Amino acid sequence: MAEQTVSIYRSMKDLPSTHLLGTGTPMCSGCGGLEALNQLYDIIGNKSVFVNAAGCMTLLSVYPFTPFRGSWLYTAMASAPAGAQGVRDALDILIQKQRMSADEDMQVVVLTGDGAAYGMGLSATSGAMERNLDFLYICYDNEGYGNTGQQFSAATPHGAKTATSKGPRGYPGFKKDLFAIWAAHNPAYVATVEGAEPVDLARKIEKAMTMKGPRLLIALSPCPPGWDYDPKETVNVGKLAVKTGVWPLKEYIDGRVVHTKIPRERKPVEEYLKLQGRYKHLFEPQRNEKLINEIQDKVDRYWDSIDL
Ligand SMILES: Cc1ncc(C[n+]2csc(CCOP(=O)(O)OP(=O)(O)O)c2C)c(N)n1
Ligand code: SF4
pLDDT in tens, 36-78: 999 999 999 999 999 999 999 999 998 888 999 999 999 999 9
Question: Would the pLDDT of 4 be above 80?
Answer: no
Could you tell me which residues are beta bridge partners of residue 258?
251
Give residue 225 CA to ligand 2 midpoint distance, Å.
7
**Confidence class for position 134, pLDDT limits 50, 70, 90:** very high
Q: Give the atom of ligand 1 at the shortest distance from the alpha carbon of 56.
A: 21
Distance CA 305, CA 308 (A): 9
Query: What is the SS3 assignment for 137?
Result: strand
Q: Is the CB of 223 under 6 A from ligand 2?
A: yes
226-248 confidence digits (pLDDT tens): 999 999 999 999 999 999 999 99
**pLDDT for 2:** 52
* Residue whose CA lies nearest to ligand 2 atom number 5: 27
Sign of the alpha-carbon dihedral angle for 97, 103, 106, 70 = negative
Question: Would the pLDDT of 206 be above 80?
Answer: yes
Q: Is the CB of 153 under 6 A from ligand 1?
A: yes
Query: What is the SS3 assignment for 166?
Result: coil
pTM over 0.85: yes
Chain centroid offset of residue 268 CA: 24
Q: Is the CB of 71 under 6 A from ligand 1?
A: no
Q: Give the atom of ligand 1 at the shortest distance from the alpha carbon of 53.
A: 15
Q: Find the angle CA(112)-CA(278)-CA(280) to the nearest 5 degrees.
A: 165
CATH 3.40.50.970 fits 12-305, yes or no: yes
Q: Is the CB of 148 under 6 A from ligand 1?
A: yes
255-297 confidence digits (pLDDT tens): 999 999 999 899 999 999 999 999 999 999 999 999 999 999 9
Give residue 124 CA to ligand 1 midpoint distance, Å.
16
Nearest listed ligand to the Cα of residue 144: 1
Distance CA 139, CA 45 (A): 17
Q: Is the CB of 253 under 6 A from ligand 2?
A: no
Per-residue pLDDT, averaged over 91-111, amounts to 98
